[in-house]
Chain A
Amino acid sequence: SQTIHQWPATLVQPVGSPLSLECTVEGTSNPNLYWYRQAAGRGLQLLFYSVGIGQISSEVPQNLSASRPQDRQFILSSKKLLLSDSGFYLCAWRGSLDTQYFGPGTRLTVL
């Protein structure tokens, strides 16, 4: 069965510091992968999606970037964090019939 991992689970970072969040998927090959952010009390906002290695599409202009160095690895990065980058970051893969399955998420607080 498919499993999706994210780390770290929680992170507290100062403004201006870099960021790297990792997502890995097991049990499937060539998955479509997604990064979402959920701000406190808000809905999920799609940040990036990837259909394959090195293929990244960005949904909104922002302070973040994504990379897919391996088939089952998806990384979210920032060179300099802003206060507004705080939120719950979720990685997901696309299953059959357009369903999405989420990892456990990373809760980021930027101070």
Chain B
Amino acid sequence: RKEVEQDPGPFNVPEGATVAFNCTYSNSASQSFFWYRQDCRKEPKLLMSVYSSGNEDGRFTAQLNRASQYISLLIRDSKLSDSATYLCVVNEGASKIIFGSGTRLSIRP
């Protein structure tokens, strides 16, 4: 089993739709969790941290389920500019940072 698994997609949704991604991780001792966004041929950029209580940043909501070992990202009212690859990141310590392979999202007009 991979340490961090994501559905590679692509997800192709119309503008204005709500879309959700999940990411599962294998190490129950993982310490912190993040979602990054990566545009084509660019570096990943931090989108948001994921907290046990769940957190929201505008149209984006992240959730962590430690019991089931998954994190999720919900994007509401999607925009064309949301088209990107979304990377799930699990931190098991200073030297053990695991990136998922990413989920590709394409928003169509």
A residues near B, CB below 8 A?
32, 34, 36, 42-44, 46, 49, 51, 57, 59, 88, 90, 94, 97-105, 107
* A90 CA / B94 CA spacing, docked (Å): 17
B81 within 8 A of A: no
B49 within 8 A of A: yes
Docked complex: B56-109 residues within 8 A CB-CB of A? 87, 89, 91, 94-95, 97, 99-102
B20 within 8 A of A: no
**A42 — nearest CB in chain B belongs to which residue?**
B101
**A94 — nearest CB in chain B belongs to which residue?**
B94
Q: Which of A44, A51, A97, A101 interacts with B94 by CB under 8 Å?
A: A51
Let me know if A44 and B91 touch, CB within 8 A.
no
Let me know if A99 and B43 touch, CB within 8 A.
no
- Name the 9 nearest CB pairs between A and B, nearest first: A43-B101, A102-B43, A44-B99, A98-B32, A98-B91, A43-B99, A105-B43, A49-B95, A99-B46
Q: Of residues A42, A100, A103, A105, which shows the largest number of chain B Cβ atoms within 10 Å of its Cβ?
A: A100
B1 within 8 A of A: no
Min CB distance, B80 to chain A, in Å?
23
* A53 CA / B74 CA spacing, docked (Å): 41
* A100 CA / B47 CA spacing, docked (Å): 11
* A65 CA / B59 CA spacing, docked (Å): 42
B25 within 8 A of A: no
Q: Residues of A contacting B95 with CB < 8 Å?
A: 46, 49, 57, 59
**A41 — nearest CB in chain B belongs to which residue?**
B101
